[in-house]
Amino acid sequence: MYVCLCQGVTDGQIRDAIYEGCCSYRDVRETLGVASQCGKCACLAKQVVRDTLSEVHNGQRTAGFAEFVAA
C-alpha cells in the first residue's frame, strides 16, 4: 500500500529499507524521502517503521521470505 503519495513510497519499501540497515524513522525518511513534502504520511510511516523494527528485534523477519524446513 502507498504510504507517501508525494514520493510514491510503499509500506514494502519502508520495510525493505529497514531490512537493509535503516534503524530509525529518521533513517527511513532520509533514505526514501517519506514525509518530506506535505507530511500527511508521517504518522502512518512511523507506525510501519515501529512495527517492522519490532518484528526485526523479535526475530520475526519472515515477511516476504520463504521458510525452508530441512527434510
Confirm whether 70 is domain-assigned.
Answer: no
Quick check: is 68 in a domain?
no
Which residues on neighbouring strands pair with residue 9, listed in sequence order?
4
- Asked whether residue 51 carries a pLDDT value surpassing 80, the answer given is yes
Average pLDDT on 42-46 reads 97
Average pLDDT over residues 13-36: 96
pLDDT at 65: 53
| pLDDT at position 26 | 96
Range of the domain at 53: 2-57
Does a structural domain hold residue 67? no
| Chain mean pLDDT for the chain | 88
CB 20 within 8 Å of CB 13: no
pLDDT at 71: 46
The reply to whether 35 falls in a domain is: yes
Could you count the other beta carbons within 10 Å of the beta carbon of residue 31? 16
**Count of domains in the chain?**
1
- In angstroms, the CA 54 to CA 71 distance is 30
3-state secondary structure of 63: coil
Lowest mean pLDDT among 14-18, 28-32, 59-63: 59-63
